[in-house]
Amino acid sequence: MKDGFVKVAAVTPDVRVADPEYNVKKMVEKAEEAAAVGVRLCVFPEMSVTGYTCGDLFLTDALLNGAREALYEYLYQTAELDMVSVLGMPLEHRGRVYNTAVAVCGGKVLGVVPKTYIPNYKEFYEARQFAPGEPEMGEILLGDDKAPFGTGLLFQDTWIPEFTFAIELCEDLWAVSPPSSEHAVVGALLIVNLSASNELTGKSEYRRDLVLGQSGRAVCGYIYADAGEGESSTDMVFAGHNMIAENGRMIAENKPFGDERMLITEIDIAKLRNMRRNLTTFPVCADWRNVGYRRCRFDIGAPTETMITRKYSKLPFVPEGESARTERATLITDIQSRGLAKRLSHTGCRDAVVGLSGGLDSTLALLVTVKAFDHLGLSRDGIHAVTMPCFGTTDRTHDNAVRLAKELGTDFREIDIKESVRGHFSDIGQSEDVHDVTYENSQARERTQVLMDIANMTNGMVIGTGDLSELALGWATYNGDHMSMYGVNASIPKTLVRYLVKYFADSTDKESLKTVLYDILDTPVSPELLPPDGDDISQRTEDIVGPYELHDFFLYHMMRTGADSKKIFRLAKYAFGDEYDDETIEHWLDTFMRRFFAQQFKRSCLPDGPKVGTVSLSPRGDWRMPSDAADTLWRLS
């Protein structure tokens, strides 16, 4: 459970209807298998001890007593496992029979949760056998031990208090107000659902939406264990549709009627805790006792490192799958272009100025500007694409800038700034032979001055090209490319910029435009501020600040999940272990943190720009940070 990971399992065991001895034997086998791979919370389906489809047999002494005896056998057989199990079974309590979930650990019953909502419609007749549960229903005697009984139970680990879970059963999730909503409010970061949901046409999709929606709404991990084959098929068929979700995202799922009966993955409870902490609208119940809750403690030993098996994308900002990327790219470029269109119409601007370098960022900015002008019905002649070659400009990027403006039908201007920069060097006493930061930034600031002045001449607006990754690293010249009148790429990370440009390339019917866009995609990322090496770019950004795929990974997990450097390092090793060794990842992570903290002053005075995703560094929106904050706690060394 190191770094907040808890390994959990949703298990559909073999079942014989009304044969608790057989069923528990199979459940013990699955429990031992789960514990062997480090599972700490193992969830079985509704009525897993007896089978869900026993009908009026649930009211017989034989089945009720047999279920209890089977429970005691499970307790005995699993007493040495460092794991909490949750079993489904019928129990008689205070003269009524209840459909319950029984949480056990270390050979003891931690607590018993009865089902709140009893379905009694269509194919379901549970009210014939079972009574509805209530929050506080005293205790139940199971063997020689008493256990709390009621829907208001929280189960909490002694060593890691954040490892707190609560229980609901099947129909509870389908209700207007699921019990899990209140469970989450009083502190449950994990919700387990023991279910026996029969399969119907279209039902699996709806069931999936319920699990995803509730896990997102309650900001929790949701473990859904479903009954499967072995249940009676007299009137219904069950498919074992197990699911594990985390904050609205499915992280593991069995296909209905699939061969896999045990679903195992890790839930990041530290991330969930951080997300709740940041959501000021997430209600918190300060005194859970006042709403009828009791805490049931369990001890599965001191925290150990959880082996990660769930997939972590190397490109967390980029959706997986071509169709998903296309859909996302359409939405993002719509947000960018509509945001710019609003700013243009509000200010009455019919002209826009874009510094066009022939690189990815300026290409995306120009494409978005064209889309905004088309939306407003403005002539593309009002888009002034300006390329400003200087000491580091190569023929490849220059020619691509020229071709791109021509293909898009915008106004195009070429202004060579070499002599202007040389004049500035003369004014300040800078040698052209000294290729230091002054040499580089003088060019960037001269370009910005040219763009701003053209904007004044045309009564236009300078469109910013800098992206989110550059803002995180401070890889922008202060009062140079750092400045604009509207930054359309401000919340687009570098790894996503590439896919957006590709989206435009693949969407066009003009082969000549497609050709130039693909050549831009193949061009190394560079500010081109140092003289080229022959015909080749000599200054490659990723050689200086590090691979953007790593930096975007660091940025996502720092900003989106609240992970510290040690956890980010661990996740990066897991995701990129086949590409980078530990020393390389550690080096660039340290570089990221150092630059992120040192360069906040540039982010504190950003131009306006549209937010398109869950991560943004705008000082007016998502990220307020002092420019002189120490980075000590965020550095690995």
Among all residues, which ones are annotated catalytic?
A: 46, 115, 170
Q: Enter the tokens of residue 34.
A: 């789960």
**What is the C-alpha to C-alpha distance for residues 368 and 464, in angstroms, rounded to an integer?**
11
**What is the C-alpha to C-alpha distance for residues 118 and 130, in angstroms, rounded to an integer?**
7
**Total residue length of the chain:** 637
60 with 47: CB under 8 angstroms? no
CA geometry: angle at 166 spanning 246 and 252, to 5°? 25
Q: Enter the tokens of residue 297.
A: 């403690």
For 455, list phi and psi in degrees, rounded to 5: -60, -40
Residue with tokens 């970061």: 189
Give residue 401's region: left, alpha or beta (phi > 0; psi -120 to 50). alpha
**Residue among 225, 236, 172, 242 at smallest CA distance from 200:** 236
303 with 331: CB under 8 angstroms? no
**Residue among 489, 395, 388 at smallest CA distance from 443:** 388
**What is the C-alpha to C-alpha distance for residues 298 and 286, in angstroms, rounded to an integer?**
22
**Residue among 624, 594, 620 at smallest CA distance from 609:** 620
| 226 strand-pairing partners | 195
For 6, list phi and psi in degrees, rounded to 5: -120, 125
Q: Enter the tokens of residue 50.
A: 């007896």
For 274, list phi and psi in degrees, rounded to 5: -65, -40
For 87-115, give one letter per residue: b (16+ CB within 10 A) or e: bbbbbbbeeebbbbbbbbbbeebbbbbbb
CA geometry: angle at 105 spanning 103 and 106, to 5°? 155
Residue at 618: amino acid letter: S
| 154 strand-pairing partners | 295
DSSP reduced 3-state for 366: helix
Count the Cβ atoms, other than its own, within 10 Å of residue 371.
Answer: 19
| 252 strand-pairing partners | 244
564 with 421: CB under 8 angstroms? no
**What is the C-alpha to C-alpha distance for residues 41 and 106, in angstroms, rounded to an integer?**
13
DSSP reduced 3-state for 312: coil
**What is the C-alpha to C-alpha distance for residues 194 and 202, in angstroms, rounded to an integer?**
21
Task: Tell me the CA distances in angstroms from 521 to 324, 364, 502, 636, one per residue in order.
Answer: 20, 11, 7, 34
For the chain, the first-to-last Cα distance in angstroms comes to 24
**Residue among 101, 102, 105, 103 at smallest CA distance from 83:** 105
